[in-house]
Amino acid sequence: MLKLICAHLREHPKYGSRVKTKRTPDLLIPGEWALEFKIARPFGDNGAEAENWTVNLLHPYPGSTSSIGDCLKLLDLEGPERKAIFVVGFEHCPPRIDLTPLIQAFEIIAVNVVAIRLGPRLEARRDGLVHPIHQSVRLFSWEVLGRAA
């Protein structure tokens, strides 16, 4: 997925060949953005409910691979780039498990437990995907602004 996003951004005249995939951050546009991405899928490709799928977002400890851990890694990055976290979520249409409570829990833990300042949530949804299980995609993003005082 990141390689496709990177290829798409490279076609944009503003970014061009500067866009890179990395280990930390997942996607870097030097001088512009440092971006981290996570996938939230309550069901596997086989249709069975996935175990521990919420951990990808909610584990609130430094060094974890969760979205909250990624926010902390972004805050430790040196450089002039703005920082943001993206969650790519997949659901049935209509949802068998709605992602909204998970997203709200991420925001509550990030802001009120770990003291991360997030910008407003941006959200987009696309329905009618061809996959029999992952029929809708919901994209969520927040700018990571810093630590609360």
The whole-number pLDDT of residue 104 equals 96
pLDDT score recorded for residue 93 = 75
Closest CA to 134 of 53, 35, 25: 53
* pLDDT tens track for 31-52: 999 999 998 887 777 777 777 8
How far apart CA 137 and CA 59 sit, in angstroms, is 23
pLDDT score for 40 = 85
Question: 14 or 124: whose pLDDT is higher?
Answer: 124
User: Which of 54-63, 67-76, 87-96 is the most confident on average?
Assistant: 67-76
Query: Is residue 92 within 8 Å of residue 98, measured between CB atoms?
Result: no
What pLDDT score does 15 carry?
81
Whole-angstrom distance, CA of residue 22 vs CA of residue 112: 29
Following CA atoms 95, 119, 13, 80 in sequence, which dihedral angle do they give, to the nearest 10 degrees?
-140
pTM check: above 0.75? yes
